[in-house]
Amino acid sequence: MSESRAKMAYADAEGRIYEHPDLEMLGWDGECWRPLEADELTPLPEGSDLFTLPGRLAAGYDAERDEVVVFDEPGTTAVSCFIAPAYLRTLLPAYETLDDAPALPLFAYSAVGIRDGEMVTATVRVDEDIRQDPFRFDIDDIAGRVATRREAHPDNRLIEHLENCALNYHCRAAQNYFLDRFEAPLPAAPTCNAFCVGCISLQPKGGDEQMVAAHDRIGFAPRVDELAEVALGHIARVGDDAVVSFGQGCEGEPLNQPLELEGAVRAIRRQTDLGIINLNSNASRPDVIRRLVDAGLDSLRISTNSARPEVWAAYYRPVGYDFSAVRESARIIRDAGRYLMLNYFVFPGVTDTEAELDALSAWIDEARVHMVQLRNLNLDPEVYLDRIAAVGGTGQPLGLIPWLSRLRERFPELTFGYFNPPRRKMGGLDADLRVSM
Contacting residues toward ligand SF4, per CB under 6 A: 192, 194-196, 199, 201-202, 252-253, 282
195 vs 411, beta carbon nearer ligand SF4: 195
Question: C-beta of 8: minimal distance to ligand SF4 in Å?
Answer: 34
**Closer by beta carbon to ligand SF4, 319 or else 362:** 319
Measured between alpha carbons, how far is 133 from 124 in angstroms, rounded to an integer?
A: 15
The least CB distance from residue 68 to ligand SF4, in Å, is 35
In the complex with ligand SF4, the residue whose CB is nearer, 52 or 284, is 284
Task: Using DSSP, state whether 3 is helix, strand or coil.
Answer: coil
Smallest gap from Cβ 414 to ligand SF4, in A, equals: 24
CA dist 316 and 312 (Å) reads 6
In whole angstroms, how far apart are CA 49 and each of 45, 83, 108, 110, 119?
A: 9, 7, 10, 10, 11
417 φ, ψ (degrees, to nearest 5): -175, -150
Residue closer to ligand SF4 by CB (options 123, 256) is: 256
**Of 95 and 347, which has the nearer Cβ to ligand SF4?**
347
Question: What stretch of H or E contains 233?
Answer: helix 224-238
Other Cβ atoms less than 10 A from the Cβ of 412: the count is 6
Among the listed residues 314, 340, 311, 345, the one whose alpha carbon sits nearest the alpha carbon of residue 327: 340
Residue 176 and residue 33: Cα distance in Å, rounded?
39
Report the half-sphere exposure of 121 (CA within 13 A, side-chain side).
27
Angstrom CA distances, 433 to 213, 239, 421, 423, 428, stand at 39, 16, 15, 9, 11
Cβ proximity to ligand SF4: between 192 and 341 the closer is: 192
Q: What is the DSSP string of 261-293?
A: HHHHHHHHHHH---SEEEEEE----HHHHHHHH
Q: How far is the CB of 247 from ligand SF4 (least distance, A)?
A: 8
**Shortest CB 152 distance to ligand SF4, Å:** 30
| Residue whose CB is less far from ligand SF4, 141 or 310 | 310
CB of 168 to ligand SF4, least distance (A): 19
